[in-house]
Amino acid sequence: MAETAHETHGEDPHRRDFIHIAAMATGAVGVAATAWPFIDQMNPSGDTLALASIEQDISKVTPGQQLVVLWRGKPVFVRHRTPAEIAAAVKDDHADMRDPATDASRTKPGKQEWLILIGVCTHLGCVPSFGTGDYGGWFCPCHGSVYDTAGRIRKGPAPKNLELPDYEFTGPTKVKIG
Amino acid sequence: MSGHSTYEPKTAFERWLDVRLPIIRMAHDTAIDFPTPKNLNYWWTFGGILAVCLVIQIVTGLVLAMHYVANAGLAFNSVEHIMRDVNHGWMIRYIHANGASMFFLAVYVHIARGLYYGSYKAPREILWLLGCVIYLLMMATAFMGYVLPWGQMSYYGAVVITNLFSAFDRLIPGVGTAITTWLWGGFAVDNATLNRFFSLHYLLPFMIAGVVGLHIWALHVPGNNNPTGVDVKSKEDTVPFHPYYTVKDAFAILVFLLLFSWFVFFAPEALGHADNQVPANPLVTPIHIVPEWYFLPFYAILRAVPDKLIGVLLMFSAIAMLFLLPWLDTSKVRSMRYRPMARWFFLIFIAATLGLGWCGGKLPDDVVIAVGRDAVSGEPTGFTVVMLSRVLAAYYFAYFLLVLPLLGLFERTLAVPETISTPVLPKGGASMPSGATASPEKKG
């Protein structure tokens, strides 16, 4: 047997290469499989994911007011818009914008007065404040991004409009976010 | 180590140990009898100063970790507990917090020294690269340490820096978001983020210590560069590290510690920010957020560009320039002492970097040079901070990518001395007794 093995080795060096490659490949898969749990542990844990939706009463928010609620650790703006704000947003629907969107696409049909946004600047994550920028909407203090009354990016370094969370009206004055 | 060891074990124990673990021999060859150029000036003392800074940070950090609680609900109050209740806690925390600033101050001088005297050139490229790695680790450590007190600046510092990675969404949609979610361990900076930052903040200083070991190893193969940039040619060009440089370093360290102590005891919050006395609030961002002073030049580069991805990439490239430097500078002459033009470009580079730092602390739309007034608001208009940042950032990159590569080809350099000793002694010090610096009467 030993003789045969030796001969095989001598005759067919590719066989030895194959064993090397197979061993290396198996080893690499093993290392990757071992490393993955140690990398993935940093992703959101089960209890973090479980806090995915909240229900909010919005009956006390009068036109021109804004409620800020914490959802998944982020502020969500629930803005009760005035007719003037809606008109300003609709008027600019076809203006030149970085991330074009109509006002209607940013609210639920028939609920145009309610603008619900994730209150996190799409530039580097600060919380914009309402009423201080041009365009009558939000202004981010960190790097000067300006959003209009539909939360669309109009000026500054942010690349995108303020994000819309998944939400639905579960009653006339109740909204479920997430 | 260069040259062979002159260590002779004196006691029976030392002889016994030397054939088993030659650790005393290593210490002797590294810090006692290591032949060092005899002309090192005070810019060369910052290596020793930095070693002291690292030890101070590790020792004070170790103690703070005994009292600090890495939990989003408790962190802020645990820092207050350290400041008010823990015996000497206020002092230990102020040493640690100001120690970070002192560490960066020293490392910037150390880097500038290397830039001026060409310490990155062959055969010291690896030594330089290891230094760059240490600098990167320092930045990561300092950033995560600043998050731990969980004040408003801590929180939004963490938010902004981690969000830098979301810029990659423009390259491959979703990848940037996946990275930030992974870094946070959630959908926003929160308890999971704070916990992992504490873990890494504890780990990284020991990694820095490890790379410092490699840095010193890489230093001791070619030996120190020196103000002339000329290689050591003979034993007459050197003095033993001890006592010449142990004493010189110790003196510089003491002077540096005076400055350090002044900050700790007389202006402990001077380099901090008032907003960090307010507990982290994910719902409200402070009006004016700025990083710590040592990150301001990079912050100014980030803000100089209106595009998010390009701003982030430029900011990272600013640091990448340091890594590429050994291959960008084409000049054969190491020290800028003999490069009359390079010297000016270097001074402008230092001024531009300091200028970027100044810009980073201002609001982007602040006016530097007023030209007129806004018709509506009456506010001054003109040359703004963001425009100045663009000019300075352009010079920062031009220095590395245009000036240093081209200047080496065209610059007429001054005569470089034959040996380290030539500029000071007519005969190059060849007749000097070995192991002595220039004798007092000749030094005048």
Q: Which CATH class is domain B290-333+345-410?
A: mainly alpha
Residue A80 a catalytic site member = no
Here the tokens at position A148 are 């209009």
Residue B390 touches partner A, C-beta closer than 8 Å: no
Given pLDDT bands bounded at 50, 70 and 90, which one contains residue B426? low
pLDDT for position B443: 42
Work out the average pLDDT over B248-277.
96
Q: CATH: 3.30.590.20, 1.20.810.10, 1.10.3720.10, 1.25.40.10. Which one for B17-285?
A: 1.20.810.10
What region, left, alpha or beta, does residue B224 occupy, with left being phi > 0 and alpha being psi -120 to 50 degrees? Answer: beta
Residues of A in contact with B192 (CB under 8 A): 44-45, 48
Question: Using CB atoms, which residue from A72, A73, A141 is nearest to B288?
Answer: A141
Residue A68 touches partner B, C-beta closer than 8 Å: yes
Q: Are B323 and B134 in contact (CB under 8 A)?
A: no
Question: Using CB atoms, which residue from B187, B192, B288 is nearest to A74?
Answer: B187
Q: What share of chain B is helix, strand, coil (3-state, %, to 5)?
A: 65, 5, 30
The residue ranking higher by pLDDT, A178 or B89, is B89
**Which positions ≥6 away from B121 have C-beta within 8 Å?**
B326, B329, B334
Residue B420 touches partner A, C-beta closer than 8 Å: no
3-state secondary structure string across chain A: CHHHHHHHHHHCHHHHHHHHHHHHHHHHHHHHHHHHHHHHCCCCCHHHHHCCCEEEECCCCCCCCEEEEEECCEEEEEEECCHHHHHHHHHCCCCCCCCCCCCHHHCCCCCCCEEEEECCCCCCCCCCEECCCCCEEEECCCCCCEEECCCCEEECCCCCCCCCCCEEEEECCEEEEC
- Model confidence at B106: pLDDT above 80: yes
Residue B286 touches partner A, C-beta closer than 8 Å: yes
- Model confidence at A135: pLDDT above 70: yes
- Model confidence at B434: pLDDT above 50: no
Say whether B285 and A140 touch across the interface (CB within 8 A).
yes
Q: Which range is most confident: A45-54, B85-94, B279-288?
A: B85-94
Q: Which of residues 41-60 of A touch B (CB under 8 A)?
A: 42-45, 48
Q: Are B90 and B82 in contact (CB under 8 A)?
A: yes
Q: Are B143 and B161 in contact (CB under 8 A)?
A: yes
What is the layout of strands, in order, in the sheet containing A66-71? A66-71, A74-80, A114-118
Residue bearing tokens 């030397």: B18
Say whether B170 and A159 touch across the interface (CB within 8 A).
yes
Residue B361 touches partner A, C-beta closer than 8 Å: no
Say whether A44 and B181 touch across the interface (CB within 8 A).
yes
pLDDT for position A36: 93
Given pLDDT bands bounded at 50, 70 and 90, which one contains residue B427? low
Say whether B285 and A124 touch across the interface (CB within 8 A).
no
pLDDT for position B435: 46
Q: What is the spatial distance between Cα B313 and Cα B163, in angstroms, rounded to a whole number?
A: 13
Helix runs in B241-384, H state only: 241-266, 296-304, 308-328, 340-361
**Angle, alpha carbons B244-B245-B246 (nearest 5°):** 100
Residue B303 touches partner A, C-beta closer than 8 Å: yes
Q: What is the spatial distance between Cα A6 and Cα B432, in angstroms, rounded to a whole number?
A: 69
Residue B187 touches partner A, C-beta closer than 8 Å: yes
Q: What is the spatial distance between Cα B209 and Cα B420, in angstroms, rounded to a whole number?
A: 32
Residues of B in contact with A129 (CB under 8 A): 285
Q: What is the spatial distance between Cα B405 and Cα B409, in angstroms, rounded to a whole number?
A: 7
* B61-101 tens-digit pLDDT: 999 999 999 999 999 999 999 999 999 999 999 999 999 99
Reference B148, options B67, B72, B59; nearest CA is: B72
Measure CA of the first residue to CA of the last residue in chain B; give whole Å: 35
pLDDT for position B93: 97
* B383-415 tens-digit pLDDT: 889 899 999 999 999 999 999 999 999 999 999
- Between chain A and chain B, how many beta carbons pairs sit less than 8 Å apart? 91
Q: What is the spatial distance between Cα B84 and Cα B402, in angstroms, rounded to a whole number?
A: 53
Minimal Cα–Cα distance from B86 to chain A, Å?
Answer: 32
State pTM to two decimals: 0.88
Minimal Cα–Cα distance from B271 to chain A, Å?
Answer: 20
* B33-52 tens-digit pLDDT: 899 999 999 999 999 999 99
- Model confidence at A149: pLDDT above 80: yes
Domain boundaries, chain B: 17-285, 290-333+345-410
Question: Using CB atoms, which residue from B183, B192, B285 is nearest to A45?
Answer: B192
Minimal Cα–Cα distance from B58 to chain A, Å?
Answer: 26
Say whether B283 and A125 touch across the interface (CB within 8 A).
no
Q: What is the spatial distance between Cα B91 and Cα B264, in angstroms, rounded to a whole number?
A: 7
Say whether B160 and A126 touch across the interface (CB within 8 A).
yes
Q: Are B256 and B102 in contact (CB under 8 A)?
A: yes
The separation between CA B321 and the C-alpha centre of its own chain, rounded to angstroms, equals: 14
- Model confidence at A13: pLDDT above 90: no
Residues of A in contact with B312 (CB under 8 A): none
Question: Using CB atoms, which residue from B163, B187, B282 is nearest to A44?
Answer: B187
Q: Which residue of A has its CA nearest to B284?
A: A127
Work out the average pLDDT over B125-153.
97
Work out the average pLDDT over B437-441.
47
Residue B200 touches partner A, C-beta closer than 8 Å: no
pLDDT for position B406: 96
The residue from A6, A14, A20, A143 that is catalytic is: A143
pLDDT for position B3: 54
Minimal Cα–Cα distance from A19 to chain B, Å?
Answer: 37
- Whole-angstrom CA distances from B54 to B106, B191, B250 are 11, 28, 15
Tell me, what DSSP letter sits at residue B100?
A: H
Minimal Cα–Cα distance from B420 to chain A, Å?
Answer: 51
